[in-house]
Structure 1
Amino acid sequence: MNYVGYENICRALFYKKIAITKFGSKNIFNKDVLKINWMLTYRCNYNCSYCYGHDNDTGFFHRKQDILKATEKILDLNRSQFEFGLNGGEPTIAPGYLELLKLIATSTKSCSVVTITNLSRKESFFEKIAEMPNASSLRFHCSYHFEDGDFSRFLNNVKILADAGCYVKIIILAHPLFYYAVKSFTKAAESLSAQIKADCQRCDVVLLPIKEKDCNGFYTLLDQRYTNEYRSWLDEKTGFTKNIDGSEKKFLLMEVSDNNTKSIKSELVYLNQSILEKYSFYKFKGMKCMAGYNSIAIDPKGDLSPAVCFRGKKKFGNIFDSEPEFFPDGLICPYEYCTCSADYVLPKYKIS
């Protein structure tokens, strides 16, 4: 489905002309895929003023051997596919990160792994990743932060990973007080991405504005410090991304019911954050969600939750000292909003 069609569906949902009966990644429905969202540590080597995902005061690291043992425990589960997402804080500073990455990349099981990183480690660190077996199977979502980032090192590290065949997504956090630096860096990043693609490698650029909380406590409002000129430039640059690598597009199956005729229609759509927010299209309360079966979330203490949205609210064991338990029939979504893109893709069904 194209962008316009997707927006039409979202508009119809917003005005309650149709209702969702089924939603989620087409690659997960009726399959035993396990998505593992693993927050390795709260610690970060940056201290960005707008970040709420790190804690350098009480954050800690687990021992390398414990991390590797826990990973082997996950890979021993009877699943057809494992999709790891490593994040933090800054996951690359966690002890054993390189060994963890290698363990997943060289597993005989069907695995994928994406690391969400600020890409701030020295070039020699990422050269070790480039030399790993199956390095081309690794994916990196790399966010550039203007308060602490090193312009040259970041782009050098992007090239090291891309030259090794890794998929690299450059995510530019458009700080409201760094307008001209953001424009300059975006131009350089887009130029590098074009060069990498010309060499038949994979690299995309995404520009993300800084958001503030809305009345419901979710980060959907544009930071008020943006000038009108800056906002206009962002509007121009952050339209629907048509060139994202095919492996990165989230193809979602959306089945909807017409509220008048009751007819059922299925569509394939691309996940697009701006449209989701525009039409408040992340409301699945009361639907059955396959959180706890197709996904687990691991916090820095090792505590297990069914999905990111349940982290700290619904625990079912600890990856370091117990076997993971699952909810084969899924769970009923108790939340007014789905707040994490990692959870959007989980299969959801309307309960008749």
Structure 2
Amino acid sequence: MLHHDTFTISWLLGRFCNYHCSYCWPYARSDKKDHRPTELCFKTIDEIKRQARDQGFNSFNWSLSGGEPTFHPGYLDILKYLADDKYSKRQRIHMTSNCSRKMKWFETYIKYAKEFDRASITASAHFEHLDTEKKIEEFTDKLVYCQDNGVRITINMVMIPEKFWTLTDHVLYFKERGIHTTLKPQSNPTATKVVDGYTKSQLDILHNESQTGQMEIELIDSKGIMHEMDQAERFNAFNFNEFKGWICSSGFRSIIIREPCGSIKRSYSCSDDPLGNIETGFKLFDKLMPCITDNCVSSADSKIPK
């Protein structure tokens, strides 16, 4: 983001999820389908681009999540609408999904994904639902298919302390199939800290293993020395997510859209008043603003330039 005219949107399309995971944060999912109308999503896209372009940004990173985003009835229509814009300098799409949709859905997804400069998927592997070898194989088949068609794939796996070593067997299987896995520590109910229960050797694995090999995050320390990381998940894995008082570009060159309330904010965890609402409109900051929040609870927040 530092080296491009990039504006970033993290869009939580709804809380509805077809999975019930025991370790999921209670606020993060719902049995109720709470999706906004697709036409409203189109209008919101147009307004985001208008305001971002007024501030000098004409490249866009769209990150769509949930709940389970693929159950938004207009999800593929939203991708097509984004892809049809020929005025943007560069557009990338990212999806965080449990990838429970059938292969036919992913075949259609690929047709639209190929229209973007880059497409990527963070696939959440939940073994309370992937509870047979056949289900794990089908899950992986879909990821291999997408990867073979140019989509960047990583699997996010929450390494529950008491199941840690059992879960590593699945990591080896995914590796054999050519799919990268990011090992995530389990967070507390407010998503501000890593839970207790990990041994030192387990923490060493969480901190140092499963690197993608593609460095995308730059961190410059107080001595001016630059450090590189493969992904922003590393911030939370090390509990390095306290940026209160830092000057942050969220709200100026990035926003999040959060459901079920429809709030448009500078970041997921920000204590600031919302910038607006998806139903009534919003206004971006006209300059960089200091962070007033204790913790970045999401890698989507941590990676915004600050």
Label 1:272 to 1:56 Cα distance change in 2 as closer, same or farther (>3 A).
closer
The more displaced of 54-63 and 234-243 is 234-243
Label 1:288 to 1:239 Cα distance change in 2 as closer, same or farther (>3 A).
closer
| Structure of larger gyration radius | 1
**What is aligned with 2:150?**
165
Question: Which of 11, 15, 20 is residue 38 of structure 1 equivalent to?
Answer: 11
Question: Which of 243, 259, 267 is residue 284 of structure 1 equivalent to?
Answer: 243
**CA-atom RMSD in angstroms:** 2.8
Cα offset, 1:206, TM superposition: 1.4
**What is aligned with 2:137?**
152
Is the 8 Å Cα contact of residues 290 and 331 (structure 1) preserved in structure 2?
yes
Cα offset, 1:75, TM superposition: 3.1
The 2-side partners of 1:65 and 1:116 are apart by 22
1:252 aligns with 2:223: no
Q: Give the counterpart letter for 2:187 in structure 1.
A: K
Label 1:191 to 1:64 Cα distance change in 2 as closer, same or farther (>3 A).
same
**What is aligned with 1:340?**
298
Alpha-carbon deviations, 1:303-349, whole Å to 9, x = none? 211112227x5212223432x3111222221122332222222232x
Question: Which of 92, 110, 119 is residue 112 of structure 1 equivalent to?
Answer: 92
The 1-side partners of 2:300 and 2:43 are apart by 25
Question: Which of 89, 92, 100 is residue 78 of structure 2 equivalent to?
Answer: 100
Say which SS state the counterpart of residue 172 (structure 1) adopts: strand
Question: Which of 2, 5, 22 is residue 49 of structure 1 equivalent to?
Answer: 22
- Counterparts of 1:217-296 in structure 2 under 5 Å? 218-222=192-196, 224=197, 232=201, 234-235=202-203, 237-241=205-209, 243-246=211-214, 249-256=215-222, 265-270=224-229, 273=233, 278=238, 280-296=239-255
Question: Which of 39, 43, 51 is residue 69 of structure 1 equivalent to?
Answer: 43
Say which SS state the counterpart of residue 157 (structure 1) adopts: helix
Label 1:182 to 1:277 Cα distance change in 2 as closer, same or farther (>3 A).
closer
Q: Give the counterpart letter for 2:291 in structure 1.
A: C
Cα offset, 1:57, TM superposition: 4.5
Is the 8 Å Cα contact of residues 186 and 194 (structure 2) preserved in structure 1?
no
The 1-side partners of 2:211 and 2:237 are apart by 21
**What is aligned with 1:297?**
256
Cα offset, 1:43, TM superposition: 0.7
Q: Give the counterpart letter for 2:220 in structure 1.
A: M
The 1-side partners of 2:6 and 2:93 are apart by 13
Cα offset, 1:289, TM superposition: 1.4
- TM-score (ref. length: structure 1): 0.73
Cα offset, 1:269, TM superposition: 2.7
- Unaligned stretches of 5+ residues in structure 1: 1-26, 194-202, 257-263
The 1-side partners of 2:233 and 2:34 are apart by 32
Alpha-carbon deviations, 1:231-276, whole Å to 9, x = none? 75x4564342475152xx33224141xxxxxxx5242432565576
Is the 8 Å Cα contact of residues 306 and 314 (structure 1) preserved in structure 2?
no
Cα offset, 1:140, TM superposition: 0.3
Cα offset, 1:217, TM superposition: 7.0
Cα offset, 1:64, TM superposition: 2.1
Is the 8 Å Cα contact of residues 112 and 137 (structure 1) preserved in structure 2?
yes
Provide the aligned length of Structure 1 versus Structure 2.
292
The 2-side partners of 1:42 and 1:331 are apart by 29
Alpha-carbon deviations, 1:68-107, whole Å to 9, x = none? 3322332344122111111111111111111112333443
1:191 aligns with 2:176: yes
Question: Relative contact order (alpha carbons < 8 A, sep ≥ 6): 1 or 2 greater?
Answer: 1
**What is aligned with 1:137?**
118
- TM-score (ref. length: structure 2): 0.83
